[in-house]
Amino acid sequence: MILKIEHLGIAVADAGKAIQTFEKLLGSCRTKVEEVASEMVNTHFFRSGESQIELLESTDPDGVISKFIEKRGKGMHHIAFLTDDLEAEMKRLKSEGFEFISEVPKKGADNKLICFLHPKFTEGVLVELCQEMNH
């Protein structure tokens, strides 16, 4: 079951500038920085109520975020929904006709197991499903 919006992912070209912008906007400092080497990205998290804002900074010119910014410009990248059972949610959504970018969940930032739905099935929006990983 989808529990809530976990975070909004925003692609940024200049992390330093974006961090300053969101610190001013939210009136608080970022809560976490984490590199996700497999995705060639640094993530910068801010808390906003029960949800988070995730700034995505590419660590490689050939990385997915660099390519996204080249194609679409900086800005909204994805919306992530927290689920309590990622495998069950993937199965449910497949039965509803959705397709995934990858059929196998992988480790993401913030101690989450993640997968992405293909945006052609979600009105052009990249949707991430995430679940807390067991310790």
Q: What pTM value is reported for the model?
A: 0.92
Q: With contact defined as beta carbons under 8 Å apart, do 63 and 40 qualify?
A: yes
- Tokens 């101690």 belong to 111
Residue closest to 104 by CA, chosen among 94, 125, 90, 83: 90
- pLDDT tens, residue by residue, 2-28: 999 999 999 999 999 999 999 999 999
Domain 2-132 fold: 2,3-Dihydroxybiphenyl 1,2-Dioxygenase; domain 1 (3.10.180)
What's the pLDDT tens digit per position in 55-107? Answer: 999 999 999 999 999 999 999 999 999 999 999 999 999 999 999 999 999 99
What ranges do the domains of the chain cover?
Answer: 2-132
CA 22 to chain centre: 17
81 touches 36 (CB < 8 A): no
